Structure 1
Amino acid sequence: MRSLYAPVFFFGFIGGAVVLVSAGLPGWLPVLLLAAIALSQASEVLLPYRPAWNHGQGDGLRDTAHALINETLNVLSVAAIPLVATWLPSAHLWPGDWPLGLQLLLAIIFADVGITLVHYASHRWPLLWRLHAVHHSVKRMYGFNGLMKHPLHQLLEALGGTLPLLLCGLPQEVAVLLAFSIAIQLLLQHSNVDMRIGPLRHVFAWAPLHRLHHLKYGTTGDVNFALFFSGWDRLLGTALHLPHYPLADDDLGIGDRPDYPVAYLQQLAEPFRNEPNVHPAAPLPLVLRLALVEQT
């Protein structure tokens, strides 16, 4: 179960989405996404990576608000594609005669490059980090909070990932599948399931890699930026795998912002505060320091 969970979840739900859209039934995709969220939550109860992460920290309603708002914005963005296409110049390069599954794969690859680069820049540029910090404020990881982002940062990632595709003439049905696939991947990246991905870590940026990106110890978490494919991090020189370091219950968050706001509206406003309260950086635990030395 631990070895099969990630590939079955990923290919099962995305494959199911392709079948639905191919059959002219895109209206069933929200139902399929709800099923994915339910399976993710049930699996976290049955096979937890950290049992303590299954217990809420006053973040349940907040994460639900983030997910509802952000997914609604995704739906509206996809629905607006025909309108955008009327004034956006298109090179008409999109291979619309390919099978739908191959078109989706192509869209995922190109979107992954743009989203990964925006993500990377968000850890380098202070203004972008202020927006992205909302996502990093989580102190536990479970699938549903993969959908927790500041709407403005989500917009920037969406532009980075999809604008080149739209300029190439991305069809609306492929855009729908791309948005669905990103939601599925976020559920897997932030999952609290004790999944074992083995050699697949060289291909897919699933939870065992992405958890390290949420470490709260200064720049230690400036690794594993990729959304879908971990190969981009090897090209960026930011890949990290610590097979012998099990994360502790309190390893996550923003080390110098332990008091980061928890409520939804406060999180929306936090990036625009003039003087955030910065605390001393969280000290790197000895066990983690030794694991990092061993890896290098």
Structure 2
Amino acid sequence: MRFIYAPLFFFVFICVAVIIVTMSGGFVWLLPLLLVAIGISAFCEWRWPYRDRWNRDHGDRLRDVLHASVNESLNVLSIAAIPLIAPWLPDLGIWPTHWPLGLQLLLAIPIADLGITLVHYASHRSALLWRLHAVHHSVARMYGFNGLMKHPLHQLLEALGGTLPLLLCGMPQDVTALLAFSIAIQLLLQHSNVDMRLGVLRHVFAWAPLHRLHHLKYGHHGDVNFALFFAFWDRLLGTALYLPDYELADDDLGIGDQPDYPSGYAAQLRQPFSATQASHPPAVLPAGLRDALADYAER
């Protein structure tokens, strides 16, 4: 199960979504399908956990529910507003609307992935963008549901980076809805607490064993594995990292120089605009991680 969980979860849910939208001509059933995916994700994390402690409520579950509810509601509203926005956008008219929905989605995902990955990369280079993105990095544990935890303004920036070029090409509303659903499924897998094994798929998909390293709290050691869907973007950026022999400790995640980052929902919405951004000396790199990084550098 540890080897088949990620590809099974990814392909089954996205294929079912394509079938539903193709047969119904609408995307209203994608939200209930996402709730089913969240439930299955939680069950599998309980059954095959990477870290038992990450399954326990750290006083953050309600906050994560609020983040996910607000962000997914904004996604739905944005998709619903596409017919109203489209007349105001230049339409290059080059989108292959005559293709089956599945093929249109296959075209949209890597293009959106590149845009989102570049916004994500920039968010670790720009102090202004980092203020917004730090909300997501404040998590002290990883489980599928907190993949949906982001500051809404940063989610907007990533959405614009990923979808605006596609909308300008004429991508229709139903494909946009499928793309948003696919991104949510991928975020559940990226942040999953399932003890999954990727094998050769680690060269293709940026799932949890890669993305957990991105959430390391030890300064710039977490500036790796930025890609949303596909791991090859990080190889092109020179930011790929894979440490199969290092098991993350319960407390390896977070923002090492801001251990007191606000944990409440309202406080996290305000924090990027706070004049005071208290910082502390960076967290000390554990010896096991230091050795694993040295071995990786020697390969």
Q: TM-score per shorter chain, which class? A: over 0.9
Q: Which residue of 1 aligns with 2:180?
A: 179
> How many Å apart are 1:265 and its aligned residue?
0.1
Give 1:194's aligned residue: 195
SS of corresponding position for 1:97: coil
User: Offset at 1:127?
Assistant: 0.2
Secondary structure of the residue aligned to 2:13 is helix
- 1:1-296 equivalences under 5 Å are 1-24=1-24, 25-296=26-297
CA RMSD of aligned residues (A): 0.6
1:31 deviation in Å?
1.1
Deviation at 1:26, TM superposition (A): 2.2
Query: What secondary structure sits across from 1:36 in the alignment?
Result: helix
Supply the distance in 1 between the matched residues of 2:84 and 2:240 (Cα, whole angstroms): 39
Name the CA distance, whole Å, in 2 between partners of 1:227 and 1:254.
20
Q: TM-score, normalising length from structure 1? A: 0.99
Which amino acid is 1:214 matched to?
Answer: H
Question: Equivalents in 2 of 1:152, 1:27: separation in Å?
Answer: 25
Listed one character per residue, the Cα deviations across residues 43-70 of structure 1 (whole Å, up to 9, x for unaligned) are 0000000001001110000000000000
Shift of residue 29, structure 1, vs aligned partner: 1.0
Q: Which amino acid aligns with 1:33?
A: L
Deviation string, structure 1 residues 216-262 (Cα, Å, up to 9, x no partner): 00000000000000000000000000000000000000000100001
Worse-superposed segment, 20-29 or 250-259: 20-29
Mean Cα displacement is larger for which, 196-205 or 17-26? 17-26
Aligned-pair CA distance for 1:99: 1.5
How far 1:19 moved relative to its partner? 0.3
Counterpart of 1:189, as a letter, is Q
The residue type equivalent to 1:83 in the other structure is L
SS in 2 for 1:30: helix
Identity score, percent: 71
The 4+ residue runs of structure 1 with deviation greater than 2 A are none
Return the letter of the residue paired with 1:78: I
Rounded to whole Å, the distance in 2 between the matches of 1:258 and 1:47 is 29
Q: CA deviation at 1:276?
A: 1.1
Look up the SS of the partner of 1:114 in the other structure. Answer: helix
One-letter code aligned to 1:285:
P
Q: How many angstroms does 1:110 deviate by?
A: 0.5
Q: How many corresponding residue pairs?
A: 296
Structure 1 spans left out of the alignment, 5+ residues: none
1:27 positional shift: 1.7
**Matches of 2:128 and 2:180 in 1, distance apart?**
26
CA distance in 2, matches of 1:202, 1:276: 37
Name the aligned partner's letter for residue 72 of structure 2. Answer: E
Q: TM-score with structure 2 length normalisation?
A: 0.98
Query: 2-side partners of 1:113 and 1:163: how far apart?
Result: 12
Structure 2 gaps of 5+ residues are none
Counterparts of 1:216 and 1:295, CA distance in 2? 19
Match of 1:260, SS? Answer: coil
The 2-side partners of 1:58 and 1:83 are apart by 40
Rounded to whole Å, the distance in 2 between the matches of 1:19 and 1:26 is 11
CA deviation vs aligned residue, 1:95-121 (integer Å, no higher than 9, x gap): 111111110011111000000000000
| CA distance in 1: counterparts of 2:53 and 2:69, whole angstroms | 25
Which residue type is aligned with residue 167 of structure 2? L
Inter-partner Cα distance in structure 1 for 2:28 and 2:289: 46
Tell me which amino acid in the other structure corresponds to 1:203: V
